[in-house]
Structure 1
Amino acid sequence: MAEEGRDVVVELGFIQNTPAWKLRSKFFPSKVGGYPAWLALKNLPTNEELSCHICSKPLVFLCQIYAPFHDRDYCFHRMVFVFVCRDPDCYRENDASNIRVFRCQLARENEFYPNEPAKDTDLGSESPGAGDFNNLCRICGALGPKTCGGCKVARYCSKDHQALDWKSGHKAECKNPENISKVSCSGHAKFLFPEFEIELEPEELEAAKEKSEEEVMKDYEELLRSGQVTHQNDEDSDTENDLINMATQETDKQFQKFRMRIKDYPDQIVRYDRGHEPLWVSSSNKPADIPPCPSCGQPRQFEFQVMPQLLVHLKVDNPGKSIDWGTVLVYSCKESCQQDRNYIEELAYKQDYSPISQVMKNHPCAAAS
């Protein structure tokens, strides 16, 4: 649990519109959507690793956070990637089987990048990039071992993405292989999420604004008595009401604490708070036990969480029937251990909102009656 008055503050991530060239690998971006800006440019995750545990379809890149460990030379560059499934049938309550997380890290002296980072005014080329060392899928930017039988140029990670590309225009361009791009196509826009930079800023809290446990409970009980926890105002589109609606008009005491904590920064889409406790969206369904790192045996620790506000930016038409979460928590090896692979799978945990029926059942007033 986070300590009172600790020196380390939570870093909040916000959506930032940024030119695409600034989100390439050589700038080490934290970003949402588009192709992943791979850190190590060789030995990328396999297509099997980037598939959904439920439906086995290819996952779509959700976001990445640049998070070096400054006290470890081998983590001079460090990136954590999150991938999710786009199939709505794979979204199950409090189940992260359709979400996968990978950690990658490099020393300052490495085979891909110079010691000094590229200048952010350098438009330059996309190099160095993963496309310099690998054949990449035109749809998702993952490894593309499959080749179009017609043009022999277009590459894909799977038959699913080959079919999507064919329907999206490759059927026509296939006749002119000399004009075919290896890493982009019109079909990728139907699969990838919109691309944004994530700008990280420290969370600034005023002690005077923070409510005590008793005050939170009092507010919570007032909401239950008034029925406001199930109230939906369709004409009010501000972020806080969007949050309530995404919670399917359901809440509990912890959700009230969640709302009050984010009130001053309602647009945050990521909270980075390595080694401390997440901001839970529910009192229920907290992980009882996080398994240790399977490679070194050290504990995994909470690193960051993806907030529900990100759903607003993903162009998901029907939250609750498609991609949906209360919050996605990322746990990684406490030591960020070195391995013989460039991309190491870590752990995702999905926490959803508590159903109002469960909240009322557990509420003291309901139990007394």
Structure 2
Amino acid sequence: MAAAPAVELGFVQETESLRLLSPHFPSKAGGRPAWLGEVGVPGPESLQCGLCLKPLAFLLQVYAPCPGSFHRTLFLFCCRSPQCHRVGETGCFKVFRNQLPRKNDTYSYDPPPEVLPSDGSGSPSFKLKCGLSLCRVCGCLGPKQCSKCHKVSYCSKEHQLLDWKAQHKKLCSEQQDLSNAALPDHNFLFPEYEIVTEPEELESDSENDDDEEQPGVDKAADGLMSGEASLSDNLTSDVKDLEAMARHESTDDVVFNLFKKRIAAEPDQVLRYCRGGEPLWMSAQNVPAANDIPDCQCGAKRVFEFQVMPQLLNHLKVDSLGESIDWAILAVFTCINNCNAEKDYLVEFLWKQDVVDSAV
């Protein structure tokens, strides 16, 4: 039997902002996207919420090279409006994949320098090398310009208005040099962090007395975590056996307890990366079957690549007494053949599992 793919855990940490720019190929959460390729960058129409049609905010990106792609990054965007994050709704998320060969027109063939520039040459830029402008608010493509000064670009009228109220009204009228102006807080971006990864270390079964007393729990856990069970059909049959053998727990109790046990050693993890593996679900509800995952546009199947954990919400400052951005698991599935994304940002698939009453 083949061993289950290794899992890499992701954690957020603060770092120098220059390390999170494109030439350093970062994995990061929040702030503005560090675009990889400059060809095919998604425009405003592609980065609209499918529900409210407002511009999506950059949530995170994962630098994930794989065979055939020397540089490869996955980008995840989401809507800032809590009202769009309804149970069962995924139209407020977008996932893109982009990749480049080692020899390309944008980056050096050699690794990026370890020492950051001290002369300001590494400051964030709102213009790509190819000449395209980026939105001053969100960092996405900005086809619109200020009609008065023609010096700043925006993705939408909404973001132009945000910047006008926050700063540009004053700078534009005074004809100041915008290149040296500090960026205001538009209250749109999520807080920015680097995502660092490390291998997941699992305890040996022999070290856990509780596991030895409950072989049924072990068997179900192995199936859920290693991929021996399918995404939903096999889960149901495994749990039926488990209910008869173990503690007569509900299906959700079993899955949630397995979830808690798995993350207990590293409770601060915000991301789990395991291309070709299986997601770690929080609940037995709303788990996709194989036919729920659509094929790639090239016709190939998609496989699980990474999941965003609910712990990331603690760092995004989105809590509120009313409606709030929320999820249990965001699972991203990508083309198994890693089809050509060197001249485009290809859309991939996201499955959202919501928090249910039993998963608390």
TM value normalised by structure 2: 0.83
Aligned residue identity for 2:84: C
**1:274-285 alignment, distance < 5 Å:** 274-285=275-286
**1:330-345 alignment, distance < 5 Å:** 330-339=332-341, 341-345=343-347
Q: Please state if 1:126 is matched with 2:122.
A: yes
Deviation at 1:163, TM superposition (A): 1.2
Cα deviation digits, residues 100-126 of structure 1 (max 9, x gap): 000000001100011111112132623
Structure 1 residues 39 and 269: CA distance shift in structure 2, 3 A: same
Q: Choose the corresponding residue for 2:75, options 56, 81, 86.
A: 81
Aligned residue identity for 2:31: G
Question: For structure 1, which runs of at least 5 residues remain unmatched after alignment?
Answer: 225-250, 360-369
Aligned residue identity for 1:36: P
Contact 1:26 1:128 in 2 (8 A): no
Segment drifting more, 100-109 vs 165-174:
165-174
Question: For structure 2, which runs of at least 5 residues remain unmatched after alignment?
Answer: 222-241
**1:47-196 alignment, distance < 5 Å:** 47-69=44-66, 71-72=67-68, 75-123=69-117, 125-126=121-122, 131-132=128-129, 133-181=131-179, 185-188=183-186, 190-196=187-193
Q: Aligned to 2:310, what secondary structure does the other structure show?
A: coil
Deviation at 1:213, TM superposition (A): 4.0
Structure 1 residues 174 and 221: CA distance shift in structure 2, 3 A: farther
CA RMSD between the two structures: 2.7
Deviation at 1:320, TM superposition (A): 7.4
What does residue 252 of structure 1 align with?
253
Structure 1 residues 88 and 127: CA distance shift in structure 2, 3 A: closer
Q: Aligned to 2:75, what secondary structure does the other structure show?
A: strand
Aligned residue identity for 1:279: L
Q: Distance in 2 between matches of 1:128 and 1:137?
A: 12
Deviation at 1:317, TM superposition (A): 2.3
Q: Aligned to 1:265, what secondary structure does the other structure show?
A: coil
Q: Distance in 2 between matches of 1:171 and 1:222?
A: 65
Q: Distance in 1 between matches of 2:84 and 2:36?
A: 28
Structure 1 residues 21 and 339: CA distance shift in structure 2, 3 A: closer
Contact 2:18 2:124 in 1 (8 A): no
What does residue 46 of structure 1 align with?
43
Q: Distance in 2 between matches of 1:79 and 1:119?
A: 20
TM value normalised by structure 1: 0.81
What does residue 27 of structure 1 align with?
24
Q: Aligned to 1:175, what secondary structure does the other structure show?
A: helix
Deviation at 1:138, TM superposition (A): 0.4
Q: Distance in 2 between matches of 1:153 and 1:182?
A: 13
Structure 1 residues 320 and 353: CA distance shift in structure 2, 3 A: farther
Q: Distance in 2 between matches of 1:169 and 1:322?
A: 28
Q: Distance in 2 between matches of 1:121 and 1:146?
A: 35
Deviation at 1:176, TM superposition (A): 2.9
Aligned residue identity for 2:8: E
What does residue 267 of structure 1 align with?
268
Deviation at 1:184, TM superposition (A): 6.7
Q: Distance in 2 between matches of 1:223 and 1:151?
A: 65
Deviation at 1:322, TM superposition (A): 1.5
- Give the 4+ runs in structure 1 shifted more than 6 A: 215-218
Q: Aligned to 1:260, what secondary structure does the other structure show?
A: helix
Cα deviation digits, residues 29-82 of structure 1 (max 9, x gap): 00001110100023311111111111111000000000001x21xx10000000
Percent identity between the two aligned chains: 46
